[in-house]
Amino acid sequence: MNSKTIANGIVRGVLTLALILLILYFLYKIQLVIVYILVSVILAMIGTPIVDFLRKKLKFKLTTAVIFTLLFYGLIIFGFIMMFIPLITTQGQKLSLLDSNALQNQITELTVQIKNFLDQRGFNSSKMMKEYNLVSKLNFNFLSDFLNNTLNTISNIGMGLASVFFITFFFLKERVIFLKIFRYILPDEHEEKILNSVTQINELLSRYFLGILLQLFIVFILYLIVLLIFGVENAFIIAFLCAFLNIIPYIGPLIGTVLAVTLTLLGNFNGAFTHEMLMTTIYVMIGFFVVQFIDNNISQPYIFSNSTKSHPLEIFLIILIFGFLFGILGMIIAIPVYTILKVVGKEFLPNNRIIQSLTKDL
């Protein structure tokens, strides 16, 4: 091996690495588009049976069936938004009972007490405040900034929904063409294995999503019972929102509990904090912890392990690893991605002992 061959190998290696980095950078820059496409694929998979039903049973044309399916999605989203308006209105009324003048007086009195405390111990509080210029560091434009950020978020969500609906429309309308293109680009020697993998992945992920819906429904019913027992206002909406947060493994239930406790506290607030209000909030928190214990130790391991054919400990470790690597999004996609990898591994590496032990139930 001469120096020229070594140099050519180094150049090829550098170019390959540069190409990989360029592709990764490109994917990073269009990550939002990739998310839109993935969401559209899921909606298209869910909407395909609806389109087929409208075409076969009601004799709709393909385009009309697709439009009606997207309208159905839109009605669900609209109903979801409208459901939370009473909750937001109620909590806004409760917050309006807060005496802002009294709160300001308490803050002023606290500031004076801190100043006197520092002065009595030899600190020149006036000089410190002037030196560090604390007043100038307070941002009194937080309200306008909050409103601007809220408007930007709403506009981004609206743009995202429009993009997803547009892509989903063509996925549903032209799905036969997309399937043909997909088959054309498959290498002939691996076509059968890939198609088998796709079929099994579709079956397992369908079972997984149905398992999630069943788990959320069970948690929703248990949350609703707890909230109704203690007479919490808007119990149905709070239970639904907290159950929906269970999509995020382990962290979602904690966020839901904090949200339920906060809304319970505000729901019973009538201008003053009372012992009865605090006790009701504590009881709701305990009830939510009991529901989470049941979900984490009974319903969730049983449903997930049966839907994905994986051991509960296996699922826990995968969620934990993906959570450390990719955060909350990683925890949400951990099980679907792991299921896909297991199916692909079983199809293409059937003789590997590790793959055999992990996929023996598939």
Cα separation, 334 vs 319, in Å, equals 5
pLDDT, tens digit (0-9, with 9 covering 90-100), for 283-329 = 888 999 998 888 877 777 677 777 777 777 787 888 888 888 777 77
Judge contact between 288 and 256, C-beta under 8 A.
yes
Give the separation between CA 218 and CA 246, rounded to whole angstroms.
Answer: 11
Other residues' Cβ atoms within 10 Å of the Cβ of residue 163 = 17
Query: In 3D, which of 87, 48, 95 has the Cα closest to residue 70?
Result: 48
Contact between 165 and 172 (Cβ < 8 Å): no
Query: In this predicted model, what pLDDT tens digit does every residue of 213-268 receive, in sequence order?
Result: 888 888 999 999 998 888 887 788 888 888 888 887 778 888 888 888 887 777 66
Contact assessment for residue 41 and residue 202, using Cβ atoms and an 8 Å cutoff = no
Which pLDDT belongs to residue 109?
61
Residue listed under structure tokens 């498959």: 186
- Identify residue 241 by its one-letter amino acid code: L
* Distance, CA of 337 to CA of 51 (rounded, Å): 27
Q: What is the pLDDT of residue 225?
A: 92
63 neighbors 172 (Cβ within 8 angstroms): no
Cα separation, 108 vs 263, whole angstroms: 28
**Backbone phi, then psi, for 191, in 5-degree steps?**
-60, -45
Length of the chain, please? Answer: 362
DSSP state of 245: G
- Confidence at residue 135, expressed as pLDDT on a 0 to 100 scale: 46
The model's pTM is: 0.61
**Selection from 172, 179, 174 nearest residue 47 by Cα:** 172
How far is residue 36 from each of residues 40, 161, 163, 300, 343, measured CA to CA in Å? 6, 9, 7, 28, 25
Sign of CA pseudo-dihedral 299, 300, 303, 306:
negative
Residues of the chain with pLDDT under 50: 98, 100, 103, 134-144, 146-147
Residue 98 DSSP one-character state? S
Residue 190, Cα to own-chain centre: how many angstroms?
34
* CB of 303 closer than 8 Å to CB of 214: yes
Per-residue tokens: 88: 């937001």
H-assigned helices in the chain: 3-29, 31-56, 62-96, 100-120, 125-132, 134-137, 142-173, 175-185, 191-229, 235-244, 251-267, 275-294, 300-308, 312-348, 353-358
| pLDDT value, residue 338 | 83
CA dist 339 and 335 (Å) reads 6
Structure tokens at 217: 């429904």
